[in-house]
């Protein structure tokens, strides 16, 4: 009672020990930006680690993960609560990719707090995908997350956040029909092929680039009975590998053009600096195949095929956006399917958000509990010395009684703190500071326990 006055904690201490954080999603996707812009903003995988380092240096963010696929470029970041990262991040992207900041600003979206969390969960669960339920996005996110972890850009909060998002995605896949019913870009491509060709059974598909997406599309075509598959890839080993899966033929990347006249369906998904070919080269190919129709599917970012080839007779070129438009017809059905999935995401967001929100009061709770328990143990020790001759069960009864007293005393304030953390973060922080002062708590000791505290 008497020694407490000398060691009052300064009000600032709690705040500095555990800064309040804000979760951000800054990005653009297939709904907000055209493919040309997405192409320009997409980052090659090998650059991601460096990009994240530069982002953390350039913008006031503590953690960052980049999600860069052909349909979206998003920065998921954690900052201190009272800073605004939108402008610095916009400028950062503009500098990195040489795109005017105003262009980015007019096509991007920003989510923060719980909405940002929900967005990450939705993306992982493929609910925000161009083709709802398509399976690639999860793998892509995992890969990008790994890059961020290796580059030390994702730390405590984002690590938990992403790991949880993968769990959520798994739940959505297992508990809803979204993944199963999903009409993917690939099946839209097959559907279109069936509008062009009367029988896939005598047709050949050629994969230029052995990416995940074209692999998936090829699988659909094979499933629909396409006669043969030719695979070419910069890494020939990968081409051989993929060709073996489909019973297809691998061809070296520098000689694929020779085989082009054999292909009725051509799937492009390589990373190129320019177009693989344009109308004039294709003219020769068409002549060689007696002008039988060709269906080109451009899955590459940046684009693989010159859009001008679509103007050639008997040539049909679709890029990812075009495929999505075709698939749009089924959107209503799919969205019905997605309602259940959205419910799961909402529920998981709520649950995980509590963990994040309570992070602000968790040190206080741990410290308070520790303090009271310390007092209890001290006093119990002292009493036991005085009482000396006690049976073991009497000791246990005393132990239990003191424990119960502490718990009963702690219950209302802790409940209020937890509740407050969910409702009003700033008030929760004030109350937490007050608690620190009233009970003369040690913030430093409490912090280590943070991550062990439950996320219930």
Which residues would be at the binding site for other proteins (CB under 8 A)? 191-192, 194-199, 290-293, 310, 313-314, 316, 318, 322, 325-326, 329
Closer residue to other proteins, CB minimum distance, 85 or 265: 265
Spatial neighbors of 379 by CB under 8 A, at least 6 apart, are 402
Find the farthest-apart pair of alpha carbons in the chain and give their distance in angstroms, rounded.
106
Which DSSP symbol is given to 9?
Answer: P
Q: Do the strands 21-29 and 72-80 form a parallel or antiparallel pair, or are they unpaired?
A: antiparallel
Q: Do the strands 315-319 and 249-252 form a parallel or antiparallel pair, or are they unpaired?
A: unpaired
Separation between Cα atoms, residue 414 and residue 367, nearest integer Å: 11
Least gap, CB of 318 to other proteins (angstroms): 6
Closer residue to other proteins, CB minimum distance, 86 or 227: 227
User: Which residues pair with residue 205 across a beta bridge?
Assistant: 229, 265
Percentages of the chain per state (helix, strand, coil), in multiples of 5:
60, 15, 25
Closer residue to other proteins, CB minimum distance, 118 or 319: 319
Closer residue to other proteins, CB minimum distance, 96 or 191: 191
- Contact (CB, 8 A) for 417 and 431: yes
Choice among 14, 42, 67, 70 that is catalytic: 70
Separation between Cα atoms, residue 420 and residue 367, nearest integer Å: 17
Burial 327-338 (b: 16+ CB within 10 A, else e): beebeeebeebb
Closer residue to other proteins, CB minimum distance, 95 or 195: 195
Separation between Cα atoms, residue 231 and residue 244, nearest integer Å: 10
Q: Does 161 participate in catalysis according to the annotation?
A: no
- Contact (CB, 8 A) for 60 and 79: yes
Residues acting as catalytic residues: 70
């Amino acid at each position: 009672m008497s020694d407490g006055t000398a060691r009052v904690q300064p009000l600032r201490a709690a705040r500095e020990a555990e800064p309040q954080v804000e979760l951000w999603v800054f990005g653009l996707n297939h709904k907000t930006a055209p493919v040309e812009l997405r192409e320009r903003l997409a980052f090659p995988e090998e650059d991601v680690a460096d990009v994240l380092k530069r982002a953390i240096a350039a913008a006031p963010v503590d953690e960052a993960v980049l999600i860069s696929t052909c349909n979206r470029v998003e920065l998921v970041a954690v900052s201190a609560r009272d800073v605004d990262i939108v402008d610095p991040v916009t400028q950062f992207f503009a500098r990195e990719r040489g795109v005017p900041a105003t262009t980015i600003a007019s096509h991007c979206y920003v989510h923060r707090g719980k909405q940002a969390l929900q967005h990450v969960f939705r993306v992982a669960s493929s609910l925000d995908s161009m083709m709802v339920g398509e399976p690639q996005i999860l793998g892509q996110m995992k890969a990008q997350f790994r890059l961020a972890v290796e580059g030390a850009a994702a730390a405590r909060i984002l690590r938990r956040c992403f790991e949880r998002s993968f769990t959520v995605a798994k739940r959505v896949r297992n508990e809803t029909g979204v993944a199963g019913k999903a009409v993917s870009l690939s099946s839209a491509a097959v559907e279109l092929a069936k509008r062009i060709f009367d029988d896939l059974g005598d047709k050949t598909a050629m994969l230029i680039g052995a990416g995940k997406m074209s692999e998936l599309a090829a699988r659909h075509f094979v499933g629909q009975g396409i006669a043969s598959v030719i695979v070419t890839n910069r890494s020939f080993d990968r081409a051989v590998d993929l060709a073996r899966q489909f019973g297809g033929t691998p061809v070296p990347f520098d000689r694929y053009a020779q085989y082009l006249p054999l292909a009725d369906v051509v799937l492009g998904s390589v990373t190129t600096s320019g177009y693989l070919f344009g109308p004039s080269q294709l003219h020769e190919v068409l002549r060689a195949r007696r002008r039988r129709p060709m269906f080109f599917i451009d899955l590459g970012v940046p684009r693989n095929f010159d859009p001008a080839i679509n103007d050639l007779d008997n040539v049909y070129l679709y890029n990812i956006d075009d495929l999505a438009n075709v698939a749009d017809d089924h959107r209503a059905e799919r969205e019905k399917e997605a309602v259940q999935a959205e419910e799961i995401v909402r529920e998981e967001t709520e649950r995980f958000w509590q963990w994040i929100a309570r992070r602000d009061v968790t040190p206080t709770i741990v410290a308070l509990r520790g303090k009271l328990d310390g007092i209890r143990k001290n006093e119990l020790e002292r009493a036991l010395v005085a009482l000396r001759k006690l049976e073991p069960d009497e000791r246990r009864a005393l132990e239990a009684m003191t424990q119960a007293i502490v718990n009963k005393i702690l219950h209302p304030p802790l409940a209020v703190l937890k509740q407050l953390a969910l409702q009003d973060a700033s008030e929760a922080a004030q109350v937490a500071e007050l608690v620190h002062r009233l009970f003369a708590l040690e913030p430093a000791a409490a912090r280590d326990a943070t991550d062990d505290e439950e996320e219930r």
